[in-house]
Structure 1
Amino acid sequence: MMEAARRDLTRMRESTAAWRELRYSALPDGQDEHEVRRAKVLWALQYDRRTEDLPLLRFLAEQEALCRRHAPFQGLGSQAELVGFLLAEHRQVEDVWRQHAIKRANFDTWCGYDREHLFAAGVEATVAYVQDHPDRDDVLELVVDEDDLEPWAESRREWFPEDPADEDPLTWVERALLAGERELARAELDRWAADRPRDLRTLDALHHHLTELGAFAEAARAQRDALAFVEGDRDRAPAWLTLAGLERQAGEHRAAWEALRECRTALDGVEGWQEIGLGLRYVEELFLLSGQAERELAGEVFAQAHREAEGVDLSLVICQAAVAAAGHVGDEIAVRRYEKLRDAEQERISSGGYDYDED
């Protein structure tokens, strides 16, 4: 994987014409056609840092800002953090606007992208530089303490080491998954887990990455083991809910139903659960299971989902799952009811029902 990344970086250094292979380019499904190749070049740049690569880094930062702005599921993304850090290490004041473009790309970047990136050239120099720019106030409201910059930069250097041998082993799992090298990802995950204690951190990482690999039965086993470490209804409810989803995806519908019943018991100890995301996820999982289980079990789960749905505001995805589940169990009255709710929610969204100000 890294050999190919280094070859790509060499080509980019030899000719700026090759940079077109790294441009943000949206596919019909909204994904970025060149995301993986751009990521590989960034990984190679992390381990081979040169002053003369500044123009390439600037180009990559601009493309990552576009990718984050137009990504169908938004998010921050490790590539944006990596390119932002590598660019910040050059400490050029004019890069404040490239950093600002990443920061304001979407809601997740606005919340999660460190504002220190914008002031890497120094707070005083950056404040002076932006004074005549129309977006000056957007930057000035993010000002950090000068004394915080170097500790922040040092923590980022530890997060993105120059030597591949110093990298967190799970980073290689994540990168292999992004690159589509699933066998490598599984091998790296197994190597990481081999000598580790089966504690909560290990089990959480296993269930997360095994899920990404589609190994749902193994992920469910890891999640079930993790429940032994979870205390309190507020933590146990989402843990059981996660297990239910994994069992469902593994085709173990009875086990999924039992996990959902345990989740419901834990929810009794969570005040106002119907009004938070956890409650919505619980109802959605009920509908998903009832839409996939064998007929007798599906009817039992659907009846529970139908009752619980009365107490929550159904999102579009829940309505869609409810329509499919009602059809699966053959309840035509429920099909029509949830179709009406689905269509009304779709209309609300299409007419601008969400008031999101990205600024």
Structure 2
Amino acid sequence: MLLNSAELVAYRLDEPFRQPLRDIVLTPGQEALERLRSGDHGAREEVAGDPVLRAGVLRAARYDRRDGDLPLLRFLLECENAERSEWYEERWLAAALVASHGLDGDVPLLRSATTGQITDTAEAVEWAGRAVAAESEFTWIELAHRQGRVEQARVALIRLLDDTGPDADRLRKLSRALEEIGDHAQAARAQFCLLWLQDTARERASEAYVLARLERRKGDLLAAGRALERARAAVGADSTAPDATVREWHRRRLGQLITEQHLELTLAAIEAGDAELARTTMAHSRLLLRTIAKESAKELSPLSTRAKWAVAGLRASGA
């Protein structure tokens, strides 16, 4: 079947999204791995200084193992061990790849990289066999995001969301990942479904204030207000009777986080020109500030002061 010009343009625009994301994000690592294997000194410097490229190299090495790779695997592990970044999965993967060779001389490095979990060669080989879990779709999405392929990561996340049923853990992961890349509308969609799956008052309160944050960032302030209403109901702040899971909620961080979202919504409503929502939300904020622990209220003091002055400005302007 021949495509007309408009269809051909659309196909070409969509082409990067037709190729499996795993293949796309592995390509830079595979190319760098081949350069490392060839002894390219420039590649060693580039990989040592670029943790994102190094992450791709490690995953490429995992799926293309060669007998002569041990020296460069040690090099990669030394880089990860020295940097100790938040991406500990790469350090764990590098350690597992080195440990799988089972050489006594690697034990000191492995012991350091695994914070003492490996103490001898036999243990190293056994640990390597169970240390690295199979990558999931989120592995490649996360790597795409780190590589700057934000739109491809976003499309992949939305496709996962479209195919996800009532799976709370998966919805939570999708919500957080979509929020991280800045797609608050899709994150709110995942979060809304997640909220309906919660059984306890604490779970409902925790997911409701997150939904409020996402709706506010999406720009739907009324929906954010409804989410906060659900959070208040969950903890009993609206004179409802919550279950035992939220006992002492006001003394814990949960109370501070719910209050914080009320104050943020108050300021957003004022900025949007919704005086009624701002006043209503600020009234709830004042009650919450009197209810939560003094330490929590103190931490929120700069934000609450801004909100109070902003609402006072409404009265001064006659709004």
In 1, the alpha carbon distance for the partners of 2:183 and 2:66 equals: 40
| 1:242-299 residue CA offsets vs partner (Å, 9 max, x unmatched) | 1111111111112112211211221233011133332232222222222322352234
Matched ranges for 1:136-175 at <5 A: 150=126, 153-157=128-132, 159-160=133-134, 167-175=135-143
Matched ranges for 1:262-277 at <5 A: 262-268=230-236, 269=242, 270-277=246-253
Is the Cα–Cα contact under 8 Å of residues 216 and 247 in structure 1 kept in the other structure?
A: yes
Is the Cα–Cα contact under 8 Å of residues 216 and 249 in structure 1 kept in the other structure?
A: yes
In 2, the alpha carbon distance for the partners of 1:286 and 1:119 equals: 51
The match for 2:198 among 230, 240, 244 is 230
What residue number does 1:61 align with? 77
Structure 2 residues without counterparts, runs of 5 or longer: 1-24, 237-241, 314-319
Is the Cα–Cα contact under 8 Å of residues 161 and 171 in structure 2 kept in the other structure?
A: no
Once the two structures are overlaid, the 10-residue window that deviates more, 313-322 or 219-228, is 313-322
What residue number does 1:13 align with? 37
What residue number does 2:303 align with? 321
SS at match of 1:122: helix
Structure 1 residues without counterparts, runs of 5 or longer: 25-33, 105-114, 127-148, 161-166, 332-359
Matched ranges for 1:133-282 at <5 A: 150=126, 153-157=128-132, 159-160=133-134, 167-268=135-236, 269=242, 270-282=246-258
Q: Structure 1 residues 245 and 98, CA, compared in 2 at 3 Å: closer, same or farther? A: farther
Q: Report the identity percentage.
A: 32
Structure 2 residue 97 is the aligned partner of structure 1 residue 86? yes
TM-score normalised by the chain length of structure 2:
0.74
Question: Which amino acid in structure 1 is aligned with residue 194 of structure 2?
Answer: A
More helix by share: 2
SS at match of 2:225: helix
Larger Rg: 2
Q: Structure 1 residues 198 and 234, CA, compared in 2 at 3 Å: closer, same or farther? A: closer
- Shift of the alpha carbon at 1:203? 2.7
RMSD across aligned positions (CA): 2.9
Q: Structure 1 residues 190 and 223, CA, compared in 2 at 3 Å: closer, same or farther? A: closer
TM-score normalised by the chain length of structure 1:
0.66
Q: Structure 1 residues 66 and 276, CA, compared in 2 at 3 Å: closer, same or farther? A: farther
What residue number does 1:51 align with? 67
SS at match of 2:199: coil
Q: Structure 1 residues 303 and 192, CA, compared in 2 at 3 Å: closer, same or farther? A: closer
- Shift of the alpha carbon at 1:240? 0.9
In 1, the alpha carbon distance for the partners of 2:311 and 2:196 equals: 35
In 1, the alpha carbon distance for the partners of 2:297 and 2:119 equals: 40
Question: Which amino acid in structure 2 is aligned with residue 40 of structure 1?
Answer: G
Q: How many corresponding residue pairs?
A: 274
Q: Structure 1 residues 9 and 308, CA, compared in 2 at 3 Å: closer, same or farther? A: same
Structure 2 residue 316 is the aligned partner of structure 1 residue 292? no
